Structure 1
Amino acid sequence: MKTYFKVLGLAGLLAFSIPAMAQLSSKTEVATPELAAQREELKKQVTQGYLDIKNSLVKSDSAGASKAALAFTTSLKKFKFKKLTLDQMNEATATRAELIALADEIAKTQKINQQRKALGKLSAKFWPIAAKFKPENMPLFQQVCPMTGETWLSDVKEIQNPYYPKNMLTCGEVKASL
């Protein structure tokens, strides 16, 4: 019986101390400049990965788009969500899975038209959360192709249409900016 109470007491002590340690751990994690710098670098990698996919398609470089899609996926998988409620965490996790699936679609094919179609879907999913991934001091522009209605993101205002680069490279307009 004494052993039972000792185990019960130890379990109670752990039940109170583990949440306290987790809370202390998360507070110190946010406070360090090194972790903030690492997070900012990861945001840069995610955003640049997307931009590299788009820029490869502007050049009609399907191999480059595949390689960039793999880099985008790798950096996106490393990104950790912070300060989210359970519902927000579930939504963010589902969105990340959708983004990864679309990037994998780009990576797995060498057919440029299929990659461009996937970029349209990827862009539509990425824009609503781009502000969370956008590094500081890096503007992002949502641009649209008037012929197709497809959007893409760019770090410059100059239009370079990834859907029709040979015939309509400069066809498009800036729809929004961050």
Structure 2
Amino acid sequence: MKKIIIMVALFVAASLTTNAQSMVAKREHNNTLKAYFATKNALAKDNASQANETAKILAENIAVFPIKTLTAAQLAVWNVEAGTIQKMASTIATEKSIKEQRKSFWTLSSAMIKLTKSFNMNDEVVYVQYCPMAKKSWLNEAEAVQNPFYGSMMYDCGEITETLAKK
């Protein structure tokens, strides 16, 4: 009987630890999404200096992300995508030309889409949107298209290709 009680106690303790870890990962992933959305919004509004600032925050979020809170499957995706996100966010943060920022944003978006789909932790509905002119996709927090690749030239050019439900 003691063995059963001890095993149940260990199982409960392990479950609580795992749940607490996943809550930390979820919170930090959503903070990362917010920084990504802020960068996307700056590019959609043709604001290169704001994109510099928001991309710095995104790069910082990736640098300090608590990877020890991830599951093995999440960590595998993280190990593939985080370096790309970090590199592209850092490039956007230092680049003055909005045209060059947008080039880096496409690679950053591809990695963020993979990470967000894999993590499945978004607090709000997230839309995967696609611009047929640029032939590129991005994540959006709003259903209305806000095109970061053309900005004011074609602000609403695109379509929703996928909806990621909040978790």
The answer, yes or no, to whether TM exceeds 0.5 is yes
Which of 84, 87, 90 pairs up with 2:72?
84
Q: Distance in 2 between matches of 1:117 and 1:31?
A: 38
Cα distance in 1 for residues equivalent to 2:120 and 2:37: 12
How many percent of aligned residue pairs carry the same amino acid? 22
Q: Which residue of 1 aligns with 2:85?
A: 99
The equivalences for 1:36-115 within 5 A come to 36-79=22-65, 80-81=67-68, 82-84=70-72, 89=75, 91-115=77-101
Q: 1:163 aligns with which of 149, 162, 166?
A: 149
What are the superposed Cα offsets for residues 54-94 of structure 1, whole Å, 9 maximum, x if unpaired?
Answer: 00001111111111111111112222152206xx7455223
* 1:6-17 matched pairs, under 5 angstroms: none
Report SS of the residue matched to 2:34.
Answer: helix
Q: Which runs of 5+ in 1 are unaligned?
A: 1-22
Secondary structure in 2 matching 1:60: coil
Report the Cα distance in structure 1 between the residues aligned to 2:147 and 2:36, rounded to whole angstroms.
15
- Match status 1:123 vs 2:109: yes
Larger Cα-atom Rg: 1
Corresponding residue pairs, total = 150
The CA RMSD over aligned residues, in Å, is: 2.3
For residues 32-71 of structure 1, give each alpha carbon's deviation from its aligned partner in whole angstroms, at most 9, with x where no partner exists: 4xx5544332122100011011000011111111111111
> Of the candidates 7, 23, 30, which is equivalent to residue 18 of structure 2?
30
Cα deviation code 1:79-126 (max 9, x no counterpart)? 2152206xx745522321111001111111111000011111111111
TM-score scaled by length of structure 1: 0.74
Instruction: Give 2:122's aligned residue.
Output: 135
CA 1:83–1:121 in 2, change beyond 3 Å: closer, same or farther? same
- Which SS does the other structure have where 1:135 is aligned? coil
CA distance in 2: counterparts of 1:177 and 1:45, whole angstroms: 19
Q: 1:31 to 1:95 in 2, by over 3 A?
A: closer
Counterpart of 1:176?
Answer: 162
Tell me: CA distance 1:37–1:94, structure 2 relative to 1, closer, same or farther (3 Å): closer
Instruction: Report the equivalent of 2:3.
Output: none
Deviations 1:117-166 (CA, angstroms, capped at 9, x unpaired): 11111111111111317432x01111111111011110111011111122
* C-alpha contact (below 8 Å) 1:49/1:68 kept by paired residues: yes
CA contact (8 A) 2:38 2:54 kept: yes
Unaligned stretches of 5+ in structure 2? Answer: 1-9
SS in 2 for 1:152: strand
Scaled by the length of structure 2, what TM-score is found? Answer: 0.79
